[in-house]
Structure 1
Amino acid sequence: MAAFLAGPVTTIAFCWRLARRDGVTIGFTTHDRDLVIAGLAYRAAPGMLPSAVRLTDGLDADSMDVSGALAADAITGDDLMAGRWDGAAVRLFVIDWTAPDGDQLLLARGELGAVSIEGEAFTAELKGPAAILDRPVSEATSPECRARFGDARCRVDLAPRTRVTEIVAVVDDRTVDVASAATPPNAYGYGRLRWITGENSGLSNPLLRSAGNRLTLRDAPPFAVAPGTRIEIVEGCDRSFTACRDRFANTDNFRGEPHLPGNDLLTRYPGAS
């Protein structure tokens, strides 16, 4: 237990540390002035307030809600809705504000979950480490590959299938033309586009299909796109056994059961077409 909790005078301040997946890190405190802790400035405004914190020593998932004010130079509603804060790592701890670099008492840590916005404030769910216990522990069979394209199970090298280029024309809110792209038909179908410059910088969009240098996104990006925007595009895979065999010659790492009979086997009978 932190020694400062035994003092006769209350000098406790709550502190929040939020680290986005793109490396942007900010801090907030409930103290009435800014604090600097381990080189990071924890701002007093806009503050963040925790609801009741529920921590357990069992196997139940820990969770809590956090609320805070939206500020143009800190957390904006547009960034929240665009998903920039999805999965951000969060630490909630208390310190003695008279010695901010001293002992810390960790109260909770985890990732930001569901976010809701009301007016100029937001509320977010904090998923603790035990929330991983809610995930399935075994995979279900499927005719399609369950590996993520290019991961340790798939083993397809994405380096030669990744290209940095720029947008030369915007056809509509989901279709763009790029300066250069891979030549195979629909090479970027089910692939990924990452925005390097522009208002969408740091965000990614799944690709639906491609035809030459024309790319179609599955969803429109959160912010408007302009010609000249630099992007990174990665080829995709439809996770079928045929694509794994014919396009990538990677059947040894196929993580599916394409030849396993499905439920329709129960309805088959001799002579059925």
Structure 2
Amino acid sequence: MSGFAARLAPEVTTLALCWRIVRADGVALGFTTHDRDLVVAGLRHASAPGMLPSAISSGDGLEVDTMEVAGALSAGSITAGDLGSGRYDGASVKVFMVDWAALEAGTLPLARGTLGEVARAASGAGGSFTAELRGPTAAFDALCIEVYSPECRAELGDRRCRVDLAPLTMRAAAIAQDGARLTVGGAGADLDRFAQGRCRAISGDNAGIDARIVSGGAGWIELFEPLPFAVAAGTRLELREGCDKRFATCSGRFANALNFRGEPHVPGGDLLTRFEIG
């Protein structure tokens, strides 16, 4: 910090802002306000698409710290298709300062968090976008209290469920697409066991995008919504079986009743409406 304080003292400085974005699929991108690319910590930080941050402020309270980043859509970095498909949803971001004349001096961290709402500007605005960066204190906005429910509150395969997902996950290939319905081969004849599961494309334009499976049948699966890009025949898919979160399914299908995270025998709100007319 003291080294950067000395670099801020002159009337003319050689400082630049940088930010590193890491998407959920592991892709890392770097950008800088400098007029040329900078290589920081082994990652090239591009001077395009000219991203500009809003004022950065932080405090010692529990208020949610947010800032905005504005930029231009570029085919070589951030594209309209990637934004629309949700590839940047929840991506981690680090904002820091560097001395572009002495990169060996290290970095000065300024802010970190995750990308919140990402919005594209109107078509007449030159293909630009704005993104909200939510700081670590944004986690305090989440409700952490669980309520009683007859269905399980865990997700299949998480640390509370503990079901091994390896035998429940398999590879398949897309044969045809009809909206949100995909005809697939290589995963067996009856695919109803994948209902409430997940489908992840591992090739093609949708590579890395994960979608929820609503239902399945004889050689087909129905997604909650169509994948953002057209699914070509031969696209490789990773299918993971799902769970309807009922106790009978947990016990009978997965033999996992000990880890069931629900209250199947607690009376529901409809108990008060049950009566007989004698």
Q: Shared fold (TM-score greater than 0.5)? A: yes
State which of 157, 161, 170 in structure 1 corresponds to 2:164. 157
Q: Return 5+ residue gaps in structure 1 as ranges.
A: none
- Corresponding residue of 1:191: 197
User: Could you tell me which amino acid in structure 1 is paired with residue 83 of structure 2?
Assistant: L
Deviation at 1:152, TM superposition (A): 1.0
Give the distance between the partners of 2:260 and 2:277, measured in 1 at CA.
31
- Corresponding residue of 1:221: 227
- Corresponding residue of 1:41: 44
Give the distance between the partners of 1:165 and 1:185, measured in 2 at CA.
11
Deviation at 1:104, TM superposition (A): 1.4
Secondary structure class of the residue paired with 2:84: helix
Secondary structure class of the residue paired with 2:140: helix
User: Could you tell me which amino acid in structure 1 is paired with residue 90 of structure 2?
Assistant: G
Task: Say if 1:272 and 1:177 are closer, same or farther in 2 by CA, change over 3 A.
Answer: farther
Deviation at 1:272, TM superposition (A): 5.5
Deviation at 1:149, TM superposition (A): 0.7
Give the distance between the partners of 2:5 and 2:59, measured in 1 at CA.
21
Give the distance between the partners of 2:131 and 2:191, measured in 1 at CA.
42
Percent identity between the aligned chains?
52
Task: Say if 1:30 and 1:143 are closer, same or farther in 2 by CA, change over 3 A.
Answer: same
Answer whether contact 2:22 2:28 (CA < 8 A) is retained.
Answer: yes
Kindly report the root-mean-square deviation, in angstroms, between the aligned alpha carbons of the 2 structures.
Answer: 1.6
Q: Return 5+ residue gaps in structure 2 as ranges.
A: none
Deviation at 1:207, TM superposition (A): 0.5
Answer whether contact 1:2 1:103 (CA < 8 A) is retained.
Answer: no
Deviation at 1:88, TM superposition (A): 0.9
Q: For 1:202-260, what per-residue CA distance to the aligned partner results, in whole angstroms no more than 9, with x for missing partners? A: 10111111113211111100000111111100000111112112211211111011111
Equivalence map 1:136-155=2 (5 Å): 136-155=143-162
State which of 51, 54, 60 in structure 2 corresponds to 1:51. 54
Give the distance between the partners of 1:178 and 1:267, measured in 2 at CA.
45
Q: For 1:76-124, what per-residue CA distance to the aligned partner results, in whole angstroms no more than 9, with x for missing partners? A: 0110110111111101111111112323111100111111100311111
Greater helix percent: which structure? Answer: 2
State which of 121, 133, 139 in structure 1 corresponds to 2:128. 121
User: Could you tell me which amino acid in structure 2 is paired with residue 130 of structure 1?
Assistant: T
State which of 26, 31, 48 in structure 2 corresponds to 1:28. 31
Give the distance between the partners of 1:252 and 1:227, measured in 2 at CA.
42
2:112 counterpart of 1:105: no
User: Could you tell me which amino acid in structure 2 is paired with residue 131 of structure 1?
Assistant: A
User: Could you tell me which amino acid in structure 2 is paired with residue 19 of structure 1?
Assistant: V
2:80 counterpart of 1:77: yes
2:251 counterpart of 1:245: yes
Aligned residue pairs, count: 271
Deviation at 1:2, TM superposition (A): 4.1
Give the distance between the partners of 2:58 and 2:4, measured in 1 at CA.
22
